[in-house]
């Protein structure tokens, strides 16, 4: 099967998005750039259904970067709740502080200024510039990468990290018009989330099934480097999560409480030390820890 033309992909995916886009609080004319930015931090490795209630609470309490920057660091970690990877809360607060100091409290519009913020990499800067300000950027999250590598390259999954060839394909497919390019970015992301999923793609509902190179090749199985799993039980992530849950729910965590939450001493001590090193906990006295002030 020949590779699908950009025009065929654009028409099919953009038409599908017009009919199937989810109504999300960080989309649409009423969404502020700050709302978009908060959503992008929260959606990293976290599904939409878990982000929605936390995003709403966050924006209610801190509707602007200045509101968040004025709060103690520990409050950001507390409000992050059970989204996981709580260092994202620290990075988002640091970014809010930088926005106040460098940009008068307004989320910057340029990719370069966004990229210079703490905790913002290429993907996040591109996504905010595209979704908040309608700019033309290649936005390569997991969903977009999966859609493009299947439709164009005929492979089940992309490489573990973005390759130059993959970025070249995405760049070549980006519509010239800024507004259309921004919609293309979110539309391909939505297609990957709702239809071209990792485990059970719904090819019968896919608007580009007829031109999909992976489908045309007979759905060859992934044969690249091993894909990272999502182990949880017994890991340091689980141990850290239990300790952080205690810290969010009360004023401090004692050694006895940490022992009850995680009996394995060596792992517990390692995780406590790691949480302090990461700035997520502060040791206020020997044997007692709390969220940072």
> Which tens digit of pLDDT belongs to each residue from 92-138?
999 999 999 999 999 999 999 999 999 999 999 999 999 999 999 99
Mean predicted confidence (pLDDT) in 263-290? 96
**CATH classification at residue 55:** 1.10.340.30
Active site residue: 23, 30, 40, 71, which one? 40
**pTM for this predicted structure:** 0.90
> Of 73, 106, 139, which residue is a domain's last?
106
Q: Is 71 a catalytic residue?
A: no
Within a domain: 172 = no
pLDDT higher than threshold 60 for residue 221 = yes
Where a domain ends, among 43, 71, 106? 106
* Residue 162: predicted pLDDT: 93
Whether the per-residue pLDDT at 141 is higher than 60: the answer is yes
- Is 174 a member of any domain? no
- Count the domains in the chain: 2
**Residue 279 covered by a domain:** yes
Q: What is the mean pLDDT of residues 28-39?
A: 95
Please state the rounded mean pLDDT for residues 11-21.
96
Note whether residue 214 is domain-resident.
no
Average of pLDDT values for 203-227? 91
Considering the domain boundaries, does residue 45 fall inside one? yes
Average pLDDT over residues 51-61: 97
pLDDT at residue 1 in the model: 57
pLDDT > 90: percent of the chain: 90
Residue 254 has pLDDT above 90, yes or no: yes
**Predicted pLDDT at 227:** 67
pLDDT of residue 3: 67
> Quick one: average pLDDT of 159-171?
94
Range of the domain at 55: 33-106
The answer to whether residue 93 is domain-embedded is: yes
Residue 159 lies in a domain: no
Does residue 148 carry a pLDDT above 70?
yes
Q: For 256-279, what is the mean pLDDT?
A: 95
Q: What pLDDT, on a 0 to 100 scale, did the predictor assign at position 8? A: 87
Residue 229 pLDDT level (bands cut at 50, 70, 90) = low
- Mean local confidence (pLDDT), 148-166: 94
pLDDT, the chain, mean:
94
pLDDT greater than 90 at residue 209? yes
Is 120 inside a domain boundary? no
Q: Does pLDDT of 48 surpass 80?
A: yes
- Boundary-marking domain end, from 106, 136, 166: 106
CA 22 to chain centre: 17
The C-alpha atoms of residue 83 and residue 206 are separated, in whole angstroms, by 30
pLDDT confidence band for 37 (50 / 70 / 90): very high
Given a cut of 90, is residue 225 above it in pLDDT?
Answer: no
Residue 226 or residue 257, greater confidence = 257
Between CA 209 and CA 58 the distance in angstroms is 39
């Amino acid at each position: 099967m020949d590779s699908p033309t950009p025009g065929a992909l654009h028409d099919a995916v953009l038409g599908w998005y017009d009919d199937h886009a989810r109504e999300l609080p960080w989309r649409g004319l009423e969404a502020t750039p700050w709302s978009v930015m908060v959503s992008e931090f929260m959606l990293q490795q976290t599904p939409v259904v878990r982000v929605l209630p936390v995003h709403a609470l966050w924006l209610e309490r801190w509707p602007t970067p200045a509101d968040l920057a004025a709060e103690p660091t520990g409050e950001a970690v507390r409000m992050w709740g059970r989204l996981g990877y709580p260092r994202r809360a620290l990075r988002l607060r640091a970014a809010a502080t930088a926005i106040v100091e460098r940009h008068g409290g307004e989320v910057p519009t340029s990719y370069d200024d966004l990229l210079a913020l703490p905790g913002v990499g290429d993907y996040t800067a591109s996504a905010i510039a595209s979704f908040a300000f309608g700019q033309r950027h290649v936005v390569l999250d997991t969903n977009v990468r999966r859609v493009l590598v299947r439709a164009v390259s005929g492979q089940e999954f992309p490489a573990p990290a973005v390759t130059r060839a993959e970025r070249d394909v995405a760049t070549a497919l980006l519509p010239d018009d800024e507004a259309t390019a921004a919609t293309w970015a979110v539309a391909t992301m939505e297609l990957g989330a709702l239809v071209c999923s990792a485990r059970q793609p719904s090819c019968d509902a896919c608007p580009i099934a007829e031109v999909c190179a992976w489908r045309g090749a007979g759905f060859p199985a992934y044969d690249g480097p091993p894909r990272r799993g999502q182990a949880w039980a017994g890991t340091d992530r689980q141990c850290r999560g239990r300790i952080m849950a205690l810290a969010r729910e009360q004023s401090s965590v004692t050694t006895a409480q940490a022992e009850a939450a995680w009996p394995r001493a060596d792992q517990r001590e390692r995780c406590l030390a790691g949480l302090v090193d990461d700035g997520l906990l502060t040791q206020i006295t020997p044997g007692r820890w709390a969220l940072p002030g």
